[in-house]
Amino acid sequence: MMMSAIESRRAMPVAAPSTSRLGGRLKRIALHGAVLLLCVVWFTPVLSLFVTTFRSESDSSLTGWWHAFVEWRPVLSNYVEAIYLAGVGRSVVNSIVLTIPTVLGTVLFSAIGAFALARMRFRGRIAVFLAMVGFQVLPPQLVLVPMLKFFLALGLTGTFIPVWIIEMGLTVPFGIFLLYGFFASIPSDLVEAARIDGASEPRIFFQIILPLSGAVLASLAILQFMIAWNHLLIPLIFLGSGSLSPLTVQVASLAQTNAGGLNTLTAATFISVVVPLVLIVSLQKYFVRGVLGGAVKG
């Protein structure tokens, strides 16, 4: 028993090279193949959208988008139609108006809240923090009916105000959670030194904490940009599909009504994704950090 165990252990490295080198190479090939396949499957739909935006309506009704690689007859009419006839140009502006103040507010409110929770000691601190953790996963559907009643009563529906406030309110608990960890890790010596230097609390916030937190604030900003830019339900309810509709609502209504045809829809869709796509590729570092910082760690 003992003997055979020793023998087999000794036998392994001797027998290994020829089979395992071949096996290893096969494994490498399989690995690269699988990764490649995954990338292709994940990218093909995006590519199909992009290609279709340049195809004419008649081409698309007869052949699949891949036919463009056989016969490349690009047209720009889809974009022109989307922007001028399907209201997408207006929606771009609306999306910007919706998103920028939301992102600014989310970052400010989260930073203020995280500053209070991470850098001050008081009774109820832990309760407030845990409430924020709980609120993060609350289904947004819950807020719709009361918020709609509230803003109807104030006569503010049909403006961007309800959307800004609701989008901010839904993300701020997450934002506080994300910033809390970073703020808490800033050495207290630094804050105390500033206090001795004569800095008031708002000054410590603006001149010490915020400048040191650039990266994590950027992470929160990019995440909230994606969320607000891409949300459908809230703007659908509070802005409707009229002249104030942002891109998501506009594209969704084009898709549902089939107005303007498939190719216009694809151009509209591509316009709606181009900003977040550029952001996620160019600022991937901050996006990744935000996603990882916000995941409730195990």
Partner 1 sequence: MANVNLRDIRKVYNHTQVIHGVNVDIDDGEFVVLVGPSGCGKSTLLRMIAGLEEISDGQIHIGSTIVNEMSPKDRDIAMVFQSYALYPHMTVAQNMGFSLQLRGGAKPEIRAQVEKAAKILNLEALLERYPRQLSGGQRQRVAMGRAIVRNPQVFLFDEPLSNLDAKLRVTMRGEIKALHQRLGSTMIYVTHDQVEAMTMADKIVVMRDGFLEQVGTPLSLYDRPANVFVAGFIGSPGMNLLSGRYAEGNVGIGDIALPVSERPSSASEGRQVIYGIRPEHLILSGDGGVPLVVEVVEPTGAETHVIGRVAGQRVIGVFRERITTRPGDFLSIACDPAKVHLFDPQSEHRIN
Partner 2 sequence: MSSQILQLFLGLLAVPAMAFAIILPGELAIRRFSQKRQSSLRPWIWLSPVLALVGLVIAYPLVASIVLSFRDASGSNWVGFRNFVWAFGTAMRPVLFNNVLWIVVFPLLTAMLALSAAIMLDRVKYERIARTFLILPTAMSFVAGAVIWKMMYTYAPPLQPQTGTLNAIWTAVTGKMPIAWLIDRSINNYALIFVAVWMSIGVSTLILSAGVKNIPRELVEAAKIDGAGEWAVFRFVTLPSLWPTILVVLTTQAIFSLKVFDIVYVMTNGSFGTDVIANKMYSELFVRQNLGTASAIAVLLLILASPVIFMNIKQIRSEGGE
Site for partner 1 in 168-187 (CB under 8 A): 187
* Residue located via tokens 């550029």: 278
Site pattern 221..260 for partner 2 (x: CB under 8 A): -----x--xxxxx---x------x--xx--xx--xx----
**Subset of residues 131 to 170 that bind partner 2, contact rule: CB under 8 A:** 131-150, 159-161, 164-166, 168-170
Burial of 135 (0-12, 13-18, 19+ CB in 10 A): middle
Among 192, 243, 259, 277, binds partner 1 (CB under 8 A): 192
Three-state SS for 124?
coil
Q: What does 156 bind: partner 2, partner 1, none (CB cut-off 5 to 8 Å by kind)?
A: none
Copy the structure tokens of residue 62.
Answer: 């007869």
Question: Considering only 39-47, 102-110, 142-150, 195-203, which stretch makes contact with partner 1 by CB under 8 A?
Answer: 195-203
**Subset of residues 80 to 99 that bind partner 2, contact rule: CB under 8 A:** 90, 93-94, 96-97
- Is the distance from CB of 164 to CB of 147 less than 8 angstroms? no
- Is the distance from CB of 264 to CB of 82 less than 8 angstroms? yes
Q: What does 3 bind: partner 2, partner 1, none (CB cut-off 5 to 8 Å by kind)?
A: none
Query: Within 13 Å, how many C-alpha atoms sit on residue 33's CB side?
Result: 6
Cα four-point dihedral sign 206, 211, 213, 215: positive
Nearer to partner 2 by C-beta: 75 or 108?
A: 108
Question: Which residues sit at the interface with partner 1, rule CB under 8 A?
Answer: 187, 189-190, 192-199, 203, 208, 211-212
